[in-house]
Amino acid sequence: MNDTTTFGHREDAAITDLESAGPASDTHTLMGLTKGLVSLLSDILNAVGESPAMSLTAGSVTVGTTAVQLLAANDARRFCEIRNDDDTIAIYIGGPGVTSSNGYKIAAGQAFGFDDYGGAVYAVAATGTPVAMAIEW
């Protein structure tokens, strides 16, 4: 790296060590290099407005014939996936007024994922009580 890089001049000891490392210090050097790369990645994420410590949340919700919230609104969410964990019954996702007529259908055993949506996600079933799995980060 040079002094004109966006993230500042960085002459990490880990990178210097890697260039001069011998076989006896490979493990030590690899650990140092990893720490240096993690630090650099953190700087890059902070520079572009991303949080380097995004949390992962997962859970399951029993869905019925009335809309139920699967995920609360979360402006920090970068990705989420909704999986229909039932073997036979479809679920439908959408906003708080979702129905089996206006929602996006996720067939039994299928999943749907989407990026950069921070709003709440709701689900409903036309019949029965299937289980929906949700994960977000």
Task: Tell me the domain boundaries of the chain.
Answer: 1-53, 57-136
| Helix (H) or strand (E) run with residue 114 in it | strand 111-115
Tokens of 131: 């289980």
CATH 3.90.650.10 for the 57-136 domain, yes or no: no
Reduce the DSSP state of residue 110 to 3 states and report it.
coil
**Cα–Cα distances in Å, from 41 out to 44, 45, 48, 49?**
5, 6, 11, 12
Give dist(CA 19, CA 29) in Å, integer: 9
Reduce the DSSP state of residue 130 to 3 states and report it.
coil
Question: Across the 137 residues of the chain, what is the mean pLDDT of every consecutive 10-residue run?
Answer: 40 44 50 62 64 73 97 93 96 97 97 94 97 94
pLDDT of residue 57: 87
pLDDT of residue 83: 96
